[in-house]
Structure 1
Amino acid sequence: MQLVSRAVLLAACLFLFQSVTDSAGSGGCRRVKSLPKSKKSIGKCYELRVTGGTSGRIWGTDIYTSDSRIGTAAVHAGLLRVGQTGYVRVRLLAGRNSYRGSTRHGVRTKKYGRWKLSYKFVGVSGSSSSTRVRSKTHKRTTTKRIVSKGRCRRVKSLPKSKKSIGKCYELRVTGGTSGRIWGTDIYTSDSRIGTAAVHAGLLRVGQTGYVRVRLLAGRNSYRGSTRHGVRTKKYGRWKLSYKFVGVSGSSSSTRVRSKTHKRTTTKRVVSKGGKIRRAFYRPMLGRDGCSRLRRTPVNMQAYRRMVGTCFDLLITGTASGKLWGTDIYTGDSTLGMAAVHDGLLKVGQTKYLRLRVLPGRGSYSGSRQSGITSKNYRRWSLSYQFLGVAHSGNPLGKNGTNLRSTGGAGSRSREGKKTRQRRTKKSNEEQEQQPDQGDC
């Protein structure tokens, strides 16, 4: 009987100890569902289970007002990611006279004046490292709901509901330069994603791939800028935003081949002077996605239907011709002259250069570079921009000539070698047939 009473007493003690530890949390922090609002709790540590997000009001940096949303503040402090659930440790502090606003990890906090209570994070409980929230869309369902790698849901278009704020989506888009776009790094929700991907440097014009986008709350203002040949506009207040969080691995070798890559015939082109000429229009797509022309045109005006296409051209630098623009030139500007102006070639030097055909611009600014002067011009229908020297082409000589195809110094074509062998053999036979002068 005495042993039974001792066993019951021991079980009661263990149960009481477990209940106390569960209520106190780990590390001397009391586990609660919400933060107390009494000044008697100042200095005490509390442990709360929260989910990281980007919605809700928040004031302060490092030290936040007591009415700031803890889940959003945890993302701002870098303790949790958006959608991740875990136990965070918070210490209640006295109020401050002012709170500083800032932007961290995609969350923007506001500044504020005097407030009665504050709190700061003192760490994350070990139980939060592997505890994450899986939304209903992450469950395996039919083909309508597809979840790709990295916990990003694969969709055809970006959702327009505020309930999707903070979620990651994966979309298959093609880089382009058309369509309206507002913002820099963070774009309005109605901005064209393919154009924004080119502006952000994730895709090239004409390249197709899967980009990962995170939907964010609206902002009061959006800044415009020009990057990678794409110009974005500034805008005021808008309800939703998005930002890129990466590119899926399936987009590295996926490119779109337009119908214009097929071999076509020559095309009539009218220049600014009104003269009609014919341009060679038979591009061949290389292994690295850049087309190589059999003949180098004087300018790129004949390729106005191939906007976004990359070309490798054998260009010789020249100081004569017509030139409009700086860095980005009009489509009818002389290629050799533009290459010298851009600093890629010297006058008389020949190299394979890589350029991309771009859409027309509203204006072109002239300048003087490398001894070449370009002129200003107004609106024009086509542009092009040099990307650099084409290192992936055939081996080049000292002056940049193609040694494999042109039969220059250091290379001999098969036909030339056979012809020389036949000539040598024929001359030897003729010498054998001639009588020796010493025998006469």
Structure 2
Amino acid sequence: MASFPTIQDFSLRTKLLLILLALLPFGKSAPIERKGCKDKDPVFALCSTSARQLISSITEVVCPAGCLDAEGPVWGTDIYTDDSSICRAAIHAGRLTDAGGRVTMEKKLGKGGYQESTRNQISTRRYGPWFVSFIFSSASDFEPAANDPLTFKPPTVSALCAMAAKQLPTAITEVICPSGCLTASENVWGSDIYTDDSSICRAAIHAGRLTNEGGKVIVEKNPGQSSYEESTRNGIKTSKYGTWTGSFVFTSSSALPYATSPPLTSNLPIVTSQCSSAAKQLTQVVTE
């Protein structure tokens, strides 16, 4: 009489894989429409964020700039293991550049193997069987209902006059500037398009987006320019510069992707800060 193998006959890795597979919901259930799977609110990721850290099966992810040279392994090609870096996989797949941006990530069942390749300056690794994968889908694959439009709400950062765009955690950020930046000493390079090491709040006054009273502006990071022009506007003189690696511009909320209805209330934690508050004192990665 043939005997069946027991769990003691398997290696530790195989045991773990069998346990995880047993936990997956293989029972019969009603088909799920794609509309209902997708989160309305995007997730603001770090370069190291992996798909397994996301709760929903379909998620819009906002990646920061600078992930090309960041840490975060990637396994697979087009179909990736769920412990791979989402943002670095997005660059590898050609969905994003090093400037960051938004992608739609969809979790899938695991595969028997994952192929290695080099694309867009990122080399991925090959791997054997793994229990969960993810791919990138287009936003048009998940059209919302007519009465449920998507609204993109950028994170909010309270800045000092000295804060530069390269210090922001995401590609698009709402920045709250304090009063008194007109006479501050921080430099600004450029006109309308500024180097990403320029003072955001002083550039906002120069661009006519704010006065010396401060207020809110929306900053969008862009690739670097071959040159930046100097000019004097609204009491602020900017400097010219040659080639630089990163830029930023000011945009309006109506120009943001999916801004088809009034912005949703942010679910970010809110902290009331003092002038001396430092970012290292915050408990969350993204904080209003």
TM-score, normalised by the number of residues in structure 2: 0.38
- State the structure with bigger RCO (CA 8 A, min sep 6), 1 or 2: 2
**Rg bigger for which structure?**
1
